[in-house]
Amino acid sequence: MTTLRRAAEWLAAGLGSGWLPRAPGTWGSLAALWPGWWLWRQGEGVLLGAVIGITLLGCAVCAVVLPTLEEQDPGWIVIDEWAGQWLTIAVAAPFVALSWPWLIACFIAFRLFDITKPWPIRRLEHAGPAWWSIIADDLAAALMAGGVVAVVTGFSAIFS
C-alpha cells in the first residue's frame, strides 16, 4: 500500500474516527464537534471555508480510496460526517448562542437527518459518482439539521 493511499484512507476515516467499533458515522460526527466549535470560534468565515475545504478534500480522498473497494459507501469513510457536522454548525450558529448544549443539539439533529435520510437526502446518496454522492447526502442532511436547530432555537427564544 502506498503512502498516498494510507494518507487518503486516514483522512477518509476522519483522522481514524471511522475505524472505531460500532456506529462509525456517529463516532465521526462526534469527533468533528470540537474542531467545528473551534473553527466557529475563529469566525464564521473560517468555519465556512473549512466546510468547503473538507468537502473538496473528502471528494479527493474518496476518489483515491473508492476505486479499490467493493462498497460504494463503506461505513468507515466518515470525512463526509465531518463536513456535514461542520455545515450543521455553520448553518445554525448565526441564530443560536454558542454553547455545548447547542452543539449537542447540532450533533443530534445532524445524526437524525443523516441516519433517516428523508427526501431529498436519500436521492443524493446515488447522485453522480461515488466520490461525490458520499459527501452530497451529508451536506443535504446538514442543511436540514442546521435549519431545524436554528428554527427550534428561535422559537424557544421567542416563547421564553
pLDDT tens digits for range 42-88 = 988 999 999 999 999 999 999 999 887 777 788 999 999 999 999 99
Asked if residue 120 has a cis previous peptide bond (ω within 30° of 0), the answer is yes
**How many structural domains are present in the chain?**
1
Provide the terminal-to-terminal Cα distance of the chain, rounded to the nearest Å: 57
Among 25-29, 50-54, 61-65, 155-159, which is the least confidently predicted range?
A: 155-159
The 10s digit of each residue's pLDDT in 108-152 is 999 999 999 998 898 888 888 888 999 999 999 999 999 999 998
Domain residue limits at 92? 3-158
Rounded Cα gap, residues 79 and 73, in angstroms = 11
Residue spans of alpha helices (H) in the chain: 3-12, 24-42, 44-65, 79-92, 100-116, 121-124, 130-158
Provide the sign of the torsion angle of the four alpha carbons 23, 26, 20, 81, taken in this order. positive
d(Cα 70, Cα 120) in Å, to the nearest integer?
26
Task: Tell me the average pLDDT across 33-42.
Answer: 94
So what's the pLDDT on residue 160? 57
**Residues 138, 85, 98, 94: is their CA dihedral positive or negative?**
negative
